[in-house]
Amino acid sequence: MNILLIYLLLLKATATSFSGLTSIPVVRHDFVENRHVLTDRQLNAAVTAGRTAPGANGLYIVSVGYFVAGIPGACAGCLAVMTPAFLIIPMLRYLGARAAQPAVKSAIQCVMIAASGLVVSTTVPLARDALISPLAIGIAVGSFLFLVLTRKDTIWVVLGSAAAGLLGRLL
Amino acid sequence: MPPVSLKRLTWIFVRVGNLTFGGGDPTMAALQSELVVTRRWLSAEQYALIYALARITPGTNLVAFSAAAAWQILGWLAAMLAVVAMTVPPSVAVVLLTSGYQAFNSNPLAMAAIGGTLAAASGMMATAAWQLLRPEVRVGRRLRAAVIFLASLGASLGFSMSPIAVLGIAAVVGMVWRAPE
Q: Which residues of A touch B60 (CB under 8 A)?
A: 14, 19-20, 56-59, 81, 84-85
Residues 6+ apart with CB under 8 A from A87: B57, B58, B59, B64
Q: pLDDT category, A96, cuts 50, 70, 90?
A: low
Position A131 pLDDT exceeds 70: yes
Position B114 pLDDT exceeds 80: no
**Amino acid letter at A40?**
D
Distance, CA of B130 to CA of A21 (rounded, Å) = 12
CB contact at 8 A, B128 and A21:
yes
Q: Which residues of A touch B59 (CB under 8 A)?
A: 14-15, 17, 58, 81, 83-85, 87
The 10s digit of each residue's pLDDT in B6-18 is 999 999 999 888 8
Q: For residue B171, with 0-12 CB atoms within 10 Å meaning exposed, 13-18 middle and 19 or more buried, which class applies?
A: middle
Is A106 close to B65, i.e. CB distance below 8 A?
A: no
CB contact at 8 A, B59 and B65:
no
ipTM of the complex: 0.71
Position B2 pLDDT exceeds 70: no
Q: For position A153, what pLDDT does the model report?
A: 64
Q: State the smallest CA–CA distance between residue A53 and chain B in angstroms.
A: 6
Q: State the smallest CA–CA distance between residue A37 and chain B in angstroms.
A: 15
Higher pLDDT, B73 or B165: B73
The reported pTM is 0.72
CB contact at 8 A, A71 and A160:
no
The 10s digit of each residue's pLDDT in B51-109 is 778 877 888 989 999 999 999 999 999 999 999 999 999 999 999 988 887 677 677 88
Q: For residue B146, with 0-12 CB atoms within 10 Å meaning exposed, 13-18 middle and 19 or more buried, which class applies?
A: middle
| Closest by Cβ to A119, choosing from B89, B125, B144 | B125
Mean pLDDT of A81-105: 83
Question: How do the domains of chain B map onto residue ranges?
Answer: 6-96, 137-181
